[in-house]
Amino acid sequence: MNFHYSIGGTSGMRGRLKTFGRAALVGAVATLATPLVAQEADNASILIYDASGSMWGQLDGGISKVEIAREVIGDFFISRDNSIPLGVIAYGHNRRGDCSDIEVIADVGVNDPAGLSSRLNRLNPRGMTPITDSLSLAASMIPPTAESADIILVTDGLETCEADPCALAAQLANEGIAIRAHVVGFGLTREEGEVMSCVADATGGLLLTPQTGQELADALRQVAQVEPVPVPEPEPAPVAEAFFDIGPSAEAGYTYSITYRGDPRPEYYAGFTLRGEGRPSTSPSFGVIGGAGALGNNPFSKTAPTEPGAYDLVMFANDSTIIARQPIDVVPPSNGFDAIGSVEPDTRFEFTWRGPNQLGERIVIARSGAAPNDYFESWGYPYTNRQAQRMGLRAPAEPGIYELRYISANGSEIFFFRQFGVGVPFEDTDGTNTAGLAAQAAAATQAAPGQDDLPMVPATFRLPPDYPQEPHEWSAIPLDPDMSPEAWAPSGKTVIGQGVFEPGRYEVTANWGPKDTFKGVVEILPGQANDFVIPVMSEEDPFVPTLDGPWQVLGVPPYQVQAGADQLLTLALEQAYPDAPIGGTWTAAEMLAGPKAAGREGSFTTANLDGGALRMTFTVGEPIPEPMTLYLTPYEIGYAGTLSSGAMGISVVMWPGGYTPPSLAEMREAVHGPAPADFVDMTSSVPAASQPGEPAAANVPVRLRTPFEIGDVGVQWSAIRMDVQEMDVSFASNDLETSFVTSLAAGGTYAVEGVNEGAGIYLADTITIDPNGRNDFEIPLAQDGDPGSAQSGLGEDVAFVCINTPAGCPVSHAASGISLTLPNDWAMGEPYFYETAGGARSDLPTASFFWESFGTINTIELNPHQWLDSNGRCAPVGASQLCYMRGQDMMLDVVFEMIRDTLVITPQGAEAAAAPSAGNGEFIGLSARATTQFDSACFIGFELDNPSRETFTAYAPVSAQSDGRQVGEVISSEEPLVMEIVTTGNYGASIGQAMLRAACERLSLDVGPVQCRMGAPPAGPLVACPMPIQVLDRNILQDIRLVSEAGTVMRAQRSADAARSGAVYPIDLGTTTPEAFQQLLDN
């Protein structure tokens, strides 16, 4: 083994550590939950694992380098000193030819060695070798508290991404960063080792070039035993180069979905700022990330500035610390319309465009030379039609030359236009079109990808030994999306199929005569034998040797439900031989648990095959928190049975990946029995009725679905065909349904609506029927909002919209008596008074307030009809109720209180008495929110009613008892529980929820003494809150007692004047001293 030790680099330099994105400390609970080792350790290590395609190369003995590295590094994780925080990075394992394919496998901290090993073992080498960027990322991950750090680079090759690791190492050394980079060059030649020696030389690290598995183990052991180098006190940390998955350029005015390579918090801010400048003001180009739980939205959406130029994409913590910065050039947009030519007067015509499609922007018809806000009455919102970028308008009645214009939301600017004729000949000499504009934009914003293909691999395919060894026609179809789509199909027949292949998964077939077909899915990889026996797939002898490989789980609807078979899960099962243990992973599809859970994956909790019955359990998580169970029995070449969670279940078929499943009729019969005698399958094609004198047009089945965010609320469906001269209603349903199946003309374009007036829900979209497609459409919530300061007269569905007014827009709707300050970027639907079928009319108006965030419509409802407690939160506003659905944007809590605080409903007819405020202006009211789970745990949070309207964060220590026993948290039972309640305006809510070890109905809580930090987080020192605090509501809890600063205890009361004194209940701080706990709060 070659050995080289460098003593240069950081000697005599003052070290500084980069930070890649250190989350701001939100409060005492988060501090207590952070591992102390990760906070206080003087040294840290980061291992960089090479998973590039070259790791499939073989060493002496025919074993690949990746197989040896997996075993040796796994042993290294177990044998090293686990008290030293360790992080792990891998590169090259996700995509081919992509130099940004770098992933943090484990953040720096005390990690489970077996878990780290398992994660590395699941990585399959396939891509590039971006050493420089990986070193930069590793340096940025080192905790700011560490005085020195070691980076261990395990690589089998040199940099392949046009970057210079030597220059980076020199830069780190010149900056005085206390980092040693050790290079473990597995299988490197002497010459290659000399090339990489610059990294070790510059940073004072080791250079080792092991050639065998034993030498690799010795090298890692030697690196782990190197003593940390003492360094002086670190200087302030510079900002790390960030990693956002966006190209070097962006189009002005366009919205981008941006992924950050890290774990941002919901309160972080991100977006565009001028090159080199600091935090800009909030705008569509810069704002809070948002999100639910501890992690923020990732990816998040931001709109590029409208002015081209040099910018930075930046991310800020709450205290304005820069988390990440990345340069990006904003280039002029490539916008325009396709040619229109000449149209008939006073008729509807369709057109296509390419534009930014922002909320509130309009496409209008105007005379040449007219002002931007001077246009005809027929106009539309490009945002509503942004997916197809196609819509129709009605031409003016007077012949002439006109302009089709794309204008700004405030009507003051024309972004682009195109002339056309109405009732007169018009020759359009402008040669631009939307396809050319899209190509022009791509050339301006996309960087050329790198190239680093995996080596081609020979493979052999054989027939089963107990079948006649006759010549067959062989073929192989690639299955992985990043592979070349070209199939392998040699000419002629052979007994054995042999070829050279791009690594990946293939469906291999051998055909011989009309009877027997051999078919199987194989994975061809470097470093293995790649000699496969392809099983027979015949009617008489369907044969699947093991469960190993990809599977799909399809939901099979009963006969009463007119719907197709939806894919619910994809599985990657692992079984070495027929009776071997079953392992593997699952991936959720959107139809299982909605778009928020789509793509979520995990491992099985249990997987057993007993007597032919297959039973597997797993947990998807919200919105299906209970465990799910697959119970299946053999069915042809797959399995059939049920997928259940709690009392809910659905019939399913599990079918091998790469094979065409049976027809819906066949699967229904397998799981539900024979079809009823009167059953008519509307999911199959039905010939359409033809008009007299017209050829018959084929109809195809179409399914319409409500969006996931409205839950199980049904709508009345209707559709109008838009692509024929005589438009007519194609269908209209009377029942409220979440899913509706009908037949529509193949190739036709329809305007579809779904309405539930009682629930205030309006769905709308334009669909085009694919003659050969599945035609399963989810119809989104309709939105006609136009953000431009408060506007009315926006159509029959929208009463007001507020834009560009941070303080909100005062609005008043005389007919309904509703007045409020409408928050910025929010719209108010047209109010109405609900009437029953018998003609009885409600005295209270119903209205919707809505706002678009990250492509999702968020709504708040006033006096919704048939609202259930399970739908979400409601609060009184006089005699009215203001409500919103669960699971929407995290900012809705704040906006809900803003609307509630300013909302006034003037009764129609008799005057109504004003409802008294909860605190009557004399105290801050505290209420509990508690939910029992599994009859043994209680999720609890708190809300504040804040008449002072000051901004502060309240810190409330909580002690819990059940049946006379002290009760702790489920996760951190030894730590004291402190609830943080962030308060803005007249409302406050706790950050997250605590989970206590008892049912809520049996819990008694002592809360306090409550102290406050005044101002927006991060705020000042702990002081007395601006007003006395009184407990208003204990919810379902047995009791709440408020511990005051004076040592008195007040029980929860429903009224403001029912407080009474009691005993003081001390809080058990465990091993933490009161002084240490106070210091944690102060920090």
Tens-place pLDDT, residues 522-576: 999 887 889 999 988 754 444 445 788 899 999 988 876 767 888 999 999 998 7
- On whether both 349 and 321 belong to a single domain, the answer is no
- On whether both 196 and 267 belong to a single domain, the answer is no
Task: Name the DSSP letter for residue 1075.
Answer: H
- On whether both 48 and 187 belong to a single domain, the answer is yes
Determine the average pLDDT of the residues in 995-1002.
82
Tens-place pLDDT, residues 7-25: 233 332 223 222 222 222 2
* Position 912 in a domain: no
* Position 932 in a domain: yes
Tens-place pLDDT, residues 678-702: 666 655 433 333 333 444 456 777 8
Of the candidates 576, 632, 639, 574, the residue with the CA atom closest to the CA atom of residue 603: 574
3-state helix, strand, coil in the chain (%, to 5): 15, 40, 50
- Find the helix or strand (DSSP H, E) in which 56 lies: none
289-293, 415-419, 612-616, 952-956, range with greatest mean pLDDT: 415-419
Q: Does 623 sit behind a cis peptide bond, omega within 30 degrees of 0 on the bond before it?
A: yes
- On whether both 111 and 60 belong to a single domain, the answer is yes
- On whether both 565 and 640 belong to a single domain, the answer is yes
* Position 195 in a domain: yes
Chain-centroid distance of CA 432 in Å reads 36
Band (pLDDT 50/70/90 cuts) for residue 64 is confident
Residue 432 pLDDT greater than 80, yes or no: yes
273-277, 418-422, 1029-1033, 1073-1077, range with greatest mean pLDDT: 418-422
Of the candidate ranges 81-95, 205-219, 262-276, 450-464, the one whose mean pLDDT is the lowest? 450-464
Task: Give the residue with greater pLDDT, 344 vs 239.
Answer: 344
CA distance 350 to 336: 15
- On whether both 643 and 529 belong to a single domain, the answer is no
* Position 785 in a domain: no
Radius of gyration of the chain from Cα atoms? 33
Residue 308 pLDDT greater than 50, yes or no: yes
Tens-place pLDDT, residues 41-59: 678 899 999 998 888 887 7
CATH number of domain containing 191: 3.40.50.410
Contact 666, 655 (CB under 8 A): no
Task: Name the DSSP letter for residue 483.
Answer: S
The one-letter amino acid code at 602 reads G
The domain of 517 spans 457-533
- On whether both 931 and 874 belong to a single domain, the answer is no
CA distance 918 to 925: 7
CA distance 8 to 377: 76
- On whether both 72 and 98 belong to a single domain, the answer is yes
Determine the average pLDDT of the residues in 943-966.
85
Structural domain total, the chain: 8
Determine the average pLDDT of the residues in 443-468.
70
Residue 245 pLDDT greater than 90, yes or no: no
- On whether both 46 and 153 belong to a single domain, the answer is yes
Determine the average pLDDT of the residues in 518-524.
89
Please report, rounded to a whole number, the percentage of residues in the chain having pLDDT higher than 70. 78
CATH number of domain containing 361: 2.60.40.2840
Residue that terminates a domain, selected from 302, 331, 360: 331
Contact residues for 188 (Cβ-Cβ < 8 A; gap 6+): 155, 156, 157, 196, 209
How large is the angle between the packed helices 165-174 and 190-203, nearest 10 degrees? 20
Across 359-399, where does the E strand assignment appear? Answer: 362-367, 390-394
* Position 354 in a domain: yes
Please report, rounded to a whole number, the percentage of residues in the chain having pLDDT higher than 90. 15
Which of helix, strand or coil describes residue 525? Answer: coil
CA distance 345 to 502: 59
Contact residues for 175 (Cβ-Cβ < 8 A; gap 6+): 16, 238
- On whether both 24 and 143 belong to a single domain, the answer is yes
* Position 916 in a domain: no
The one-letter amino acid code at 482 reads D
What's residue 292's pLDDT? 66
Task: Give the residue with greater pLDDT, 243 vs 662.
Answer: 662
* Position 580 in a domain: yes
DSSP H helices in 566-713: 590-593, 664-672
Across 854-1002, where does the E strand assignment appear? Answer: 856-862, 872-877, 880-885, 904-905, 924-933, 937-945, 952-962, 965-967, 977-984, 987-990, 994-996
* Position 359 in a domain: yes
Residue that terminates a domain, selected from 515, 533, 551: 533
What's residue 652's pLDDT? 92
Burial (CB count within 10 angstroms: exposed 0-12, middle 13-18, buried 19+), residue 822 = buried
What's residue 727's pLDDT? 46
Band (pLDDT 50/70/90 cuts) for residue 402 is very high
CATH number of domain containing 721: 2.60.40.1120
SS in 3 state form for 847-863?
EEEEEEECCEEEEEEEC
- On whether both 22 and 126 belong to a single domain, the answer is yes
- On whether both 58 and 199 belong to a single domain, the answer is yes
Contact 882, 899 (CB under 8 A): yes
Band (pLDDT 50/70/90 cuts) for residue 1029 is confident
622-626, 880-884, 921-925, range with greatest mean pLDDT: 880-884
CATH number of domain containing 281: 2.60.40.10
Q: How long a stretch of residues is the chain?
A: 1083
To the nearest whole number, what is the mean pLDDT of the chain?
Answer: 77
Of the candidates 786, 783, 822, 792, the residue with the CA atom closest to the CA atom of residue 805: 822
Q: Does 485 sit behind a cis peptide bond, omega within 30 degrees of 0 on the bond before it?
A: no
Q: What is the pTM of this model?
A: 0.31
What's residue 476's pLDDT? 92
What's residue 516's pLDDT? 55
- Find the helix or strand (DSSP H, E) in which 901 lies: helix 892-902
